[in-house]
Amino acid sequence: MRRSLIPILSSLLLVPLLAGADIPSFTAEGILYCDGVKLNVGSYAAPLAVDWDGDGRKDLICGQYENGQIRFYPNVGTNDAPVFDSWSYLMDGAQPISVPYG
């Protein structure tokens, strides 16, 4: 099943993408959580689900508006039932990676 991440205010909503005849439709699946707390990256989230660490599970990479930093949420669940229990900033040596924002 294909899924899409949709920024909703300061949270992320995971929704299945149901391919129809001509127009894809979305059905709500749920707000994402990290370690039991609603995942919050601030305004204007830019999420991407990708196997960042090479373990076969889709992790969450999410750019955030504040300071242009990028968060990495490793998936400790499965691709069908992702679980995020920690996060860290993507780093360039000892400094968080920062991209242009605003």
| pLDDT of amino acid 52 | 93
Residue 65 covered by a domain:
yes
Residue 39 covered by a domain:
yes
Strand (E) or helix (H) holding 12: strand 11-18
**In this structure, what token pair is assigned to residue 102?**
């605003």
Quick: pLDDT tens for 5-58. 555 545 555 555 555 545 555 555 677 888 988 888 777 778 888 899 999 998
Number of structural domains (the chain) is 1
Determine the structural domain holding residue 39 and report its residue range.
2-96
Enter the pTM of the model: 0.74
Quick: pLDDT tens for 73-90. 999 999 888 899 999 999
